[in-house]
Amino acid sequence: MRNFAKSLAALTAISALALTSCGREDPGTATGTAGGTETACEGFEEGAAIGVALPQKTSENWVLAEQLFNDGLTEAGYEPSVQFANGGVAEQQAQISSMITNGVEVLVVGAIDGAQLGNQLQQAKDAGITVLAYDRLLTNTENVDYYVAYDNFKVGELQGQALLDGLAERKGEGPYNIELFAGSPDDANAQVFFDGAMSVLQPKIDDGTLNVVSGQTSFDQAVTQGWKAENAQRRMDTLLSGNYASEELHGVLSPNDTLARAVLTSVAAAGKDTPVVTGQDSEVESVKSIMAGEQYSTINKDTSNLVEQTITMVEAIGACEEVEVNDTESYDNGVKVVPAYLLEPQIVTQENAAEAYADDPTLAELVK
């Protein structure tokens, strides 16, 4: 979870912009940054095994990441083992344990639930394996060395601002009736997205510009278990029937594109006017929806850039070089501040879609 308090202990333990990491060492030897002990780096050679544990295939970006990791790690001279845990947390735990047993040098983890992998991460650290949290922070453990992601708090800020901008653009003068949706509570990013958005929206709720008609303004009230579209649509159905019989719905904060489309489906089925709805991930169907004037916005987080940065960090670890990070203060996982490399997200609306997707051959065709 994002934490803006500056920690003296973290700053003394972690260099401001770069850290030195180690590859696999003999079990029982102090290793890596997670243990806070410097040791001689052995690195690893070409052909080393790299484990990549990914969650369920709940979005296009996760599916794309599989291909990008397989291709990129192979091209870099490594032997990738990329696995999805569509069966849930227990399957991911088993997959990670198997990767460790099979001798991976680095473990890249996109967690289903970042708080449920403590035993496996301890197993990895005991084996001298460097652990990178990918896209989602690994929480309540000291056994994570780095975090690589887009700036997820900034994502939320952009979504909150997009909602305000869209309301002013499409709904005239306020006040505006809105509803709030959040992601899955077992995903550490979901709270960060929501907190970022609420840092923009809460002042407008407080001054009466925004009215959450249902009164459901907390993260716990807004969550969508499993990031599943059917859960979001079911909740939107309930919100509409219980609160909007005679009220107009002007806007909805949605944390990603899948949920945004579910919200729009519910609203259309209820015969209501299309509200301003935010999103994230630049999924094909949502980009089409934006260009059709339906969904208002999404977030461009190019998965290829995120995977490329991850592989760059793996290469630095393998060569015993400094691993570049650009944030050593913000991501407190409950046990330690995890040094992070954060990429910059981009808000996309109909207005700037052509520019935003100019280098994406698939999406560029949709926004001409």
What are the extents of the domains in the chain? 8-144+302-344, 152-301+348-364
Give CA–CA dist 32/166, Å, rounded.
46
Q: Are the beta carbons of 266 and 297 closer than 8 angstroms? A: no
pLDDT digits (tens, 9 = 90+) for 133-147: 999 999 999 999 999
Domain 8-144+302-344 indexed as CATH 3.40.50.2300: yes
Give the residue-averaged pLDDT of 192-220.
98
Look at 21-25, 283-287, 321-325 and tell me which has the smallest mean pLDDT.
21-25
Give CA–CA dist 153/6, Å, rounded.
17
pLDDT band at 122 (very low <50, low <70, confident <90, very high): very high
User: Domain 152-301+348-364 carries which CATH code?
Assistant: 3.40.50.2300
Would you state the pLDDT for residue 37? 42
Give CA–CA dist 305/303, Å, rounded.
5
pLDDT digits (tens, 9 = 90+) for 252-295: 999 999 999 999 999 999 999 999 999 999 999 999 999 999 99
DSSP letters for 201-251: HHHHHHTTSEEETT---SHHHH--GGG-HHHHHHHHHHHHHHH-SSS---E
Give the residue-averaged pLDDT of 73-90.
95
Would you state the pLDDT for residue 158? 98
Fold matches, 8-144+302-344 and 152-301+348-364:
yes
Q: What stretch of H or E contains 285?
A: helix 284-291
Report pTM: 0.82
Give the residue-averaged pLDDT of 100-120.
96
pLDDT digits (tens, 9 = 90+) for 337-363: 999 999 999 999 999 999 999 988 899
